[in-house]
Copies of this chain bind each other. A is one copy, B any other.
Amino acid sequence: MVLVDARNPLNIGAAARAMSNFGFSRLRVVNPYDVAFQGARSAVGAAPVLASAEEYKTVAEAVADCSLVVGTTAIGHRDLQHSIQRLEAGAPVIRAHIASGNCALLFGSEKFGLSNEDMSHCHWLMHIPTRDEHTSMNLGQAVAVCLYELSRDPKALAKPGKGIAASAAEAERITETLLIALRASGYPKLNSSQSFQSAVRRLVRRLRLQQGDAEFLLGMLRQMVWKLSKNEESED
């Protein structure tokens, strides 16, 4: 990660924090605004990355030991001479390269981005796909998004929900207890019999209850049935 001409200490600190979050450790800064760099060194949650950050005077020196140099840009109205890739498409190329050699990912200043001279050190450019009407991202956020994509696991699968689905027997116990509670409460539609019972049964199935929740709900219903029957007795 190479920050060129960064001016705001909060952004340098934020970039370092994102590096720490996503497991990138080598930060280089080119020509930082001195006060900013010193300010950033004290930023929260990024201490080790910032402590070992290296300072360079030129882009050429900062990327000298890298065999792939990729610049980031917001694609404004500049006529870019480089090939430019969307982040999703560029990241796999960078990941593949990292396996065998160093890659420098360049970010320009908050206001102007990378200069044409900075870009001429790059093999190609990468941009984060944003809305055409608002392509300019905050530096710290742009860094976080790029590093997230680089460490993203395309094979990450959805985890199944916690717990085990309730069995049909459990669902049926709930259905029966609910019908008893409704009967005891004088629920009006109850007399329409079979079709209503089926509607309640389907409702309970649609809840897709988990085992623990089925027991939880059954306990509540039984308590209500008990109280309802007790009230019935006292009314008699």
Contact = CB atoms under 8 A, between A and B. Distances in A.
A199 to B, nearest CB: 22
A109 B222 CA distance: 40
A64 interface: no
Contacts of A113: none
A128 B153 contact: no
A191 interface: no
A50 to B, nearest CB: 13
Given A10-B10, A144-B144, A151-B129, A89 B158 contact: yes
A148 interface: yes
A227 to B, nearest CB: 26
Given A18-B137, A136-B45, A86 B153 contact: yes
Given A23-B131, A144-B144, A145-B148, A137 B85 contact: no
B128 A161 contact: no
Given A140-B138, A144-B137, A131 B21 contact: yes
Nearest to A159: B85
A90 B63 CA distance: 37
Contacts of A144: 137-138, 141-142, 144-145
Given A93-B158, A144-B144, A151-B129, A18 B85 contact: no
A33 interface: no
Contacts of A162: 81-83
Contacts of A20: 131, 134
Name, among A18, A88, A124, A134, the residue most crowded by chain B CB atoms within 10 Å (CB to CB).
A134
Contacts of A53: none
Interface of A: 10, 14, 17-18, 20-23, 45, 81-86, 88-90, 92-93, 124, 128-131, 134-138, 140-142, 144-145, 148-149, 151-154, 156-162
Given A83-B161, A88-B154, 16 more contacts: A17-B138, A17-B141, A21-B131, A21-B134, A21-B136, A23-B130, A83-B162, A85-B159, A86-B159, A90-B158, A129-B151, A129-B156, A138-B144, A141-B144, A144-B144, A144-B145
